[in-house]
Chains A and B, each alone.
Chain A
Amino acid sequence: MAEVREKGYHHWEGQLQDKGRMFWPITRTGIKLAFQRKRFKFLFAVSFMPAITFAVGVYISERLEDFKFMAQGAERTLQVNPGFFRTYLSLDFIFFMILLLMALGGAGLIADDFRHKAIQLYFARPLTRLDYLLGKAGVVMFFVGLLTLVPALILFLLKLLFSGSFKFFLDYPWLPLSIIIYSAFLMVFFTCYVLLASSVSKNRNYVIALIFAVYYLSEIARGIFYVIFRSPYSILLSIPGNLQQVAAAVFQVKPALAVPWYLSFLVLSAFCLLSFFFLRRKLRGVEVIR
C-alpha cells in the first residue's frame, strides 16, 4: 500500500495507547456525560452530606468534652470504631444516593448505546467486548468509589489527624483494608447491578425504574417472606440486607441477623457472576437482521 499512503494519508509517528488501557476513553466519556446533566451535579454534591456529617462526628468524638452540651447521651453513637465505618458504608442514604446517581448517570450506559445503535461504532474499532464492558464499568466504579471508598478513607485519616496519634490505627490496623475490601465489593456489586439493568432495555426510563424497583422489591420480598416463614434467612432475598450482612463481617461487628455472612456474600457474588455472563451474551448478540 506504499503508493496509497503517498496520496495523502496522514502518518502517525506517535505512540499509540497500549492495549490494556483501551477502556479508558469510554469511562472518561461516561463520566463527562454524567456531569453534563444539571440534576446530576446537584445530587452528586448532596450525596456527600453523610460524609460531611460523619466527618463532623469524628471531630466531635475527639472533642467530647467541648461538645458535652450537644453530645449528651450520644457518646456511643459518636464512638469511632469499626462499627462507625460499617455504619457509614452501609447507610441506607448512601445506597439510595448511589442508586439515584446511577439512575441519572449510569442507566444509559449501555441502554443508550443500544438505542443509538452505537455498539457497532465501538466494535468496528480496535476494541474488544471486554474493553467495552470495562469502560462502562469504570463509570459506575468511579462514582460508587467516590461515595464510599474515598470518604471512608478520608474519615479514617481525619480520625488519625484529630486524635493526633496513631493509636486508632494501632488498635485497628486491619481497618483500612476492610474499608478497601468492602468498598471494592460495593463497587463491583453496583457495577454489575447497574450495567445489567442498563443492558435489559433501550429505554433509559425503563432502566431507571428497574434499578429502583429491583432494589426495593427485594427488600419488600424479604419482609413478606419473614412474615410468612419467620425465618431470618429471608434476608438473603434482600439486596440491602445482604450488603449489610457482608459489611458486618468485613468490619468484624455483630451482624443484624444470625445468618452466616458467607451466604449473603455468595448470593451477591452469584448475582455479579450471572450479570457478567448475561452482559457478555447480550453484547455478543448485537446482531441486526435486516
Chain B
Amino acid sequence: MSAVIEARNLSRWYGNVLGISEITLDIEPGITALLGPNGAGKSTFMKIITGQLKANIGQVRIFGQPVWNNRHIFRRLGFCPESDAFYEELNGLEFLTGLLSLYGYDRKECLDRANRALELVELKDVSRRPIRSYSRGMRQRIKIAQTIAHDPEILILDEPLSGLDPLGKRRIIRLIKEFRDAGKTVVVSSHVLPEVEALTSEIILIHNGKILARGDIHFIRELLDSHPHMIRVKSPQYRELARLLAAEEYVLNITFEPEASAVVFETHHRDRFFNRLNELVLDPGLDLEEITSPDDNLQAVFDYLVGR
C-alpha cells in the first residue's frame, strides 16, 4: 500500500525549544495513532501536516504533493483540534456551514453537507441550539463533524477522546473506525494509552520530539528483548506452579500475589515458557484460571522505551 503522508527529516524549533526532530515516516490508509506524553511533539507534527506550521528542516508530502501553502491539499484534509475552537454564539449548523463556505461550496451545498455531517455524528436534533449549550461530548462530536463535513480523504484528529465519558468515547471510537472502514486515512493523537489501544494497533511512539518506535504494539513489545516479559498466571495451585517453573533457567523472577491466588513470572523466552506451561497443565494436571501479560500493553511498552 502506498503512503498517503510522507514526512522526511522533519524538524521544528520554537526558538530554543525543540518541537520535533528528524522525523521521517510514511503513513498509509487506516488508523495510525501518534502516542506520547504532553509536549512530546504530537501536536507540532499534526500542525505541520495540516499546513499550519512550516518545518524548519525537512518536508512533508500528502498524496505526493508538498503541504505548505498548498490549498489543493487542504481540501482533501480534515483537522480536528484538541482544544474547543468554536464561536459559542453560533448554533451547530451555522458553525458547520460557515466553515464549509471556506472551501468555496455554494450555500445549498454547505447546508447539505453540514446536515449530513451532523447526522453522522448524531447531532442533527440539536443543530439549531447554540454551541455554548452543548455538553462536552457534543462539542467533541461537532468538532469531528467539521472535520468530516467536506469529505476529506485524510482525517487528523488531535486527542479526539479527551474529556469524554465512557459512552461518548465508545461513540467516537466507533465513528473513527467507520472512517477507517470507508477507506480514509486517520491519524489520531493521544496520550491516553488504553484509548489508543481501543482504536488501533498501528502506533507511532513520540517522545521529546523524536519517534521512539513504530508499528504494531505487540510487535514492538517483542523487540524489547532487554526487558523480560511478564506473565501472570492465576491458579488455585499457584505455589506449586511457581515451584515447578522456578527450576527453568529462562524464568528470571517470580512474584507472588497471594490475595489473588496468582503468580507473576518474568522471562526472556515467552515461547519456551508457554510450552512448559502447557506441559504442566497436561501432565501434573494443574488448574489454570487465567493467563495474562501485564506488560504486553501500550503503557508498559511506552515506559520501557522512555526508560521509566
Real binding pair: yes
Q: Which residues of A contact B (CB under 8 A)?
A: 1, 3-4, 7-10, 12, 14-19, 22, 25-26, 28-29, 33, 36, 112, 116-128, 286-290
Q: Whole-angstrom distance from the CB of A135 to the nearest CB of chain B? A: 9
Q: Whole-angstrom distance from the CB of A10 to the nearest CB of chain B? A: 5
Other A-B pairs beyond A14-B105, A289-B44, 18, CB < 8 Å: A1-B183, A7-B181, A25-B101, A116-B88, A117-B81, A118-B85, A118-B87, A120-B52, A121-B85, A122-B102, A123-B52, A124-B78, A124-B79, A126-B75, A126-B104, A128-B69, A290-B38, A290-B39
- Is the Cβ of B98 less than 8 Å from the Cβ of A120? no
Alpha-carbon gap, A7 to B83, bound state (A): 30
Q: Can you show 12 pairs from A to B with CB atoms below 8 A apart?
A: A10-B113, A14-B105, A17-B105, A25-B101, A112-B87, A120-B50, A120-B52, A121-B146, A124-B81, A125-B74, A125-B99, A290-B44
Residues of chain B within 8 A of A9, CB atoms compared: 151, 153, 182
- Is the Cβ of B102 less than 8 Å from the Cβ of A127? yes
- Is the Cβ of A126 less than 8 Å from the Cβ of B47? no
Residues of chain B within 8 A of A287, CB atoms compared: 14, 47, 52-53
Alpha-carbon gap, A15 to B200, bound state (A): 38
Count of chain B residues with Cβ under 8 Å from any Cβ of A?
51
- Whether B17 is near chain A, meaning CB under 8 Å from some CB there, is yes
Alpha-carbon gap, A112 to B89, bound state (A): 11
Residue of A with least CB distance to B17: A289
- Is the Cβ of A22 less than 8 Å from the Cβ of B104? yes
A-facing residues in B188-242 (Cβ within 8 Å): none
Pick the residue among A14, A25, A112, A119 that contacts B102 (CB under 8 A): A25
- Whether B308 is near chain A, meaning CB under 8 Å from some CB there, is no
Chain B, interface SS category: loop
* Residue in B19, B38, B42, B98 with the greatest tally of chain A CB atoms within 10 Å: B98
The contact string, 1 if C-beta is below 8 Å from chain A, for chain B 67-103, is 0010110110111010111111110000000110111
Alpha-carbon gap, A9 to B51, bound state (A): 23
Given contacts A116-B85, A118-B85, A120-B85, contact A16 B104 (CB under 8 A): yes
Residues of chain B within 8 A of A125, CB atoms compared: 74, 99, 102-103
- Whether B106 is near chain A, meaning CB under 8 Å from some CB there, is yes
Given contacts A117-B81, A128-B69, contact A4 B183 (CB under 8 A): yes
Residue of A with least CB distance to B146: A121
- Whether B29 is near chain A, meaning CB under 8 Å from some CB there, is yes
- Whether B119 is near chain A, meaning CB under 8 Å from some CB there, is no
- Is the Cβ of B109 less than 8 Å from the Cβ of A117? no
The contact string, 1 if C-beta is below 8 Å from chain A, for chain B 39-59, is 100111001001111000000
Residue of A with least CB distance to B74: A126
- Is the Cβ of B53 less than 8 Å from the Cβ of A116? no
- Whether B124 is near chain A, meaning CB under 8 Å from some CB there, is no
Given contacts A9-B151, A14-B109, A120-B79, contact A126 B103 (CB under 8 A): yes
- Is the Cβ of A124 less than 8 Å from the Cβ of B50? yes
A-facing residues in B157-198 (Cβ within 8 Å): 181-184
Q: Whole-angstrom distance from the CB of A41 to the nearest CB of chain B? A: 14
- Is the Cβ of A14 less than 8 Å from the Cβ of B99? no
- Is the Cβ of A124 less than 8 Å from the Cβ of B109? no
- Is the Cβ of A120 less than 8 Å from the Cβ of B14? no
The contact string, 1 if C-beta is below 8 Å from chain A, for chain B 117-134, is 000000000000000000
Residues of chain A within 8 A of B268, CB atoms compared: none
- Whether B61 is near chain A, meaning CB under 8 Å from some CB there, is no
Alpha-carbon gap, A121 to B86, bound state (A): 9
Alpha-carbon gap, A288 to B12, bound state (A): 12
